[in-house]
Structure 1
């Protein structure tokens, strides 16, 4: 089963995205900020997610800050990351390079599902 780490501080986004992804057969793990995302990655050990879907604007640690740590950590640097953002990628500056793809808010969850499947394939 393909695993996705969903990182967002909005309970509405988390609940809806979790339900949509889970319903289609993806295993979804949740973190509510960048610090918790890094903690979860450490806890996963060798059983890393196939994809990270991460908001940029979050308390405690922003998504771009967490993505920078992920890219600088050899065991995690290969992980694909989709950024959830209200800012166009060209306006993110150097942080834009940390992400493999983007969903611009507001987005439809059908868009998210299509992008997830394009990046990691259908669930097993």
Structure 2
């Protein structure tokens, strides 16, 4: 599987979670960018040009701009709307999942704590789905 060119943006305000994800994603030969708040995440997506992420792993509860709004803004902008978003959050109520998938148009909604191997399956699935659409 060719993933050496895939760039993943991890957005979470918890440095321990960011580090856990970064280490595991880099071990899977992905390039990882990091943002610790919603505004920084949008800046990285909008200003990266050819270095835009191929996938975003996004927490919901973030400083400055929450994950719902970040995802919605990305999905509303035509040139970046095809970037898949995996919501990874501690909000595990059924209504949270509905809001995460429908209101923000996220592609997947996963709850913490998550087994890294399960997350990697979703990463592979999201990237292969995106690559098949191109």
TM-score, normalising length from structure 2? 0.83
What is the number of residues matched between the two proteins?
121
Q: Tell me which moved more, 50-59 or 89-98.
A: 89-98
| Greater share of residues in helix | 2
Cα distance, 1:47 vs structure 2: 3.0
| Native 8 Å contact 1:90 1:96 kept in 2 | no
Q: Structure 1 regions of 5+ residues with no counterpart?
A: none
Check if 1:111 corresponds to 2:126: no
Counterparts of 1:102 and 1:57, CA distance in 2? 14
| Native 8 Å contact 1:4 1:28 kept in 2 | yes
Residue 74 of structure 1 is matched in structure 2 by 78
| Native 8 Å contact 1:89 1:96 kept in 2 | no
User: Structure 1 stretches (4+) deviating beyond 4 angstroms?
Assistant: none
Map of 1:4-83 to 2, 5 A cutoff? 4-83=8-87
Q: For residues 87 and 23 of structure 1, do their structure 2 counterparts lie closer, same or farther at Cα, with a shift above 3 Å needed? A: same
Cα distance, 1:99 vs structure 2: 0.6
Q: Structure 2 regions of 5+ residues with no counterpart?
A: 129-134
Higher RCO by CA contacts (8 Å cutoff, separation 6 or greater): 1
Cα distance, 1:84 vs structure 2: 0.9
Q: Tell me which moved more, 103-112 or 85-94.
A: 85-94
Q: Tell me which moved more, 20-29 or 40-49.
A: 40-49
Q: Tell me which moved more, 38-47 or 50-59.
A: 38-47
What is the RMSD computed on CA atoms of the aligned residues? Answer: 1.5
